[in-house]
Structure 1
Amino acid sequence: MFHKEGIKIILISMVLFTILLFTADYAIHIEWLRIAAMLILLFFFLLILQFFRNPKRTTVLNDNHIIAPVD
């Protein structure tokens, strides 16, 4: 599901984002600003997860195709 090199970064960012979410919930008293801050934090966490994803690839072997390890 995720690259093994990214597991440590994902766990650290998960802890950091959890702390930031609770801080935003406690410190920001304006409702729309609190929700906006939480959505921005969620967006950045999803970017980190997307960066370290390890998709399933199927390779079609054909002598006329060039195969490169690029997404």
Structure 2
Amino acid sequence: MLLLNIEETRIYKDLERQTKLKAAARFLSMGYSISEVAKAVDLFVEEVATEVVNSQTHTEQDDRTK
């Protein structure tokens, strides 16, 4: 019988990371600092900072397409 712990699957880990990044984006939009957000969602500061850069890039691209 195949026993899998769902938390060890790649799909679970990917979804967990996506959820954390979405939460981080919301916290950042509410004015929390990068270090506060990283601590709250259990990510590295670098990961949250990358999310900031990515969200700014998407915003700039959206502004150009209007």
Larger RCO, structure (CA 8 Å, separation 6 or more): 1
The structure in which a higher percent of residues are helix is 2
TM-score category of the 2 structures, normalised to the smaller one:
0.3 to 0.5
Q: Give the number of the structure whose alpha-carbon radius of gyration is greater.
A: 1
